[in-house]
Amino acid sequence: MWLSRIPENSLHAIITDPPYGVKEYDFDQLEKRSTRVGGIWRIPPSFDGHTRAPLPRFTALNEKERALARRFFVEWAKLAVRALRPGGHVMIAGNAFLSQLVFEALTEGGLEFRGEMIRLVRTLRGGDKPKNAEEAFPDVCSLPRGCYEPWGLLRKPMPPKMKVSDCLREYQTGGLRRRADGKPSAM
């Protein structure tokens, strides 16, 4: 992984929208996606006359697959901590279904949870009908359509007893820049 090869304490920040590929990229699931028969992949939505690619159903993850995702993000956080300067931030896109698992795993990997920013959206996701029973239950969904994305804000710990001002001076990290009008960014 690239993060393991770069020099320690070299990044000021990481902003990422990670793949949550735990199950959907297994060979058997890719085969099911290509044939559009079964598997974790749901029927792709159409929008403005364009049919999108099939999307995975994260609600289909079992305990083993959730544990794999958790382990991946714990290990990823350890690599991020190594690569970030003290006080460096991670901003990571999430989804309402997996964010609690991901943010907890990142803190277990050594990052400090600093909060969430909520991005208001109107997703094409959600509203999934019961798989293989869509016609039997046309007025039922298993998950509501999303209206927001939780973006986690985490930070590599600063050295003990170091203030943010000291961290800014030494590492150019630790705080978040204010908006052009002088107000803090909203979370």
The distance of Cα 92 from the centroid of its chain, to the nearest Å, equals 5
pLDDT values of the chain reduced to their tens digit, one per residue, 187 residues: 789 999 999 999 999 987 666 666 677 777 877 777 766 655 565 656 666 666 655 566 788 888 988 998 999 999 999 999 999 999 999 887 789 999 999 999 999 999 999 888 765 555 667 777 878 888 887 767 677 889 999 999 999 999 999 999 999 999 998 888 988 877 6
Which pLDDT score is estimated for 168? 97
Q: What is the 3-state secondary structure (H, E, C) of 2-43?
A: HHHHCCCCCEEEEEECCCCCCCCCCHHHHHHHHHCCCCCEEC
Length of the chain measured in residues: 187
Going along the chain from its start, the domains and CATH numbers come out as 2-45+54-163 (3.40.50)
Tokens of 181: 């009008």
| pLDDT attached to residue 102 | 93
Cα dihedral 70, 23, 117, 7 sign: positive
Contact 155, 174 (CB under 8 A): yes
The Cβ of residue 25 has, within 10 Å, a number of other Cβ atoms equal to 12
d(CA 52, CA 43) in angstroms, rounded, equals 9
What single letter denotes the amino acid at residue 24? E
This prediction has a pTM of: 0.77
Give the C-alpha separation, 2 to 162, whole Å.
29
Q: Put residue 9 in one of left, alpha, beta given phi > 0 → left and psi -120 to 50 → alpha.
A: left
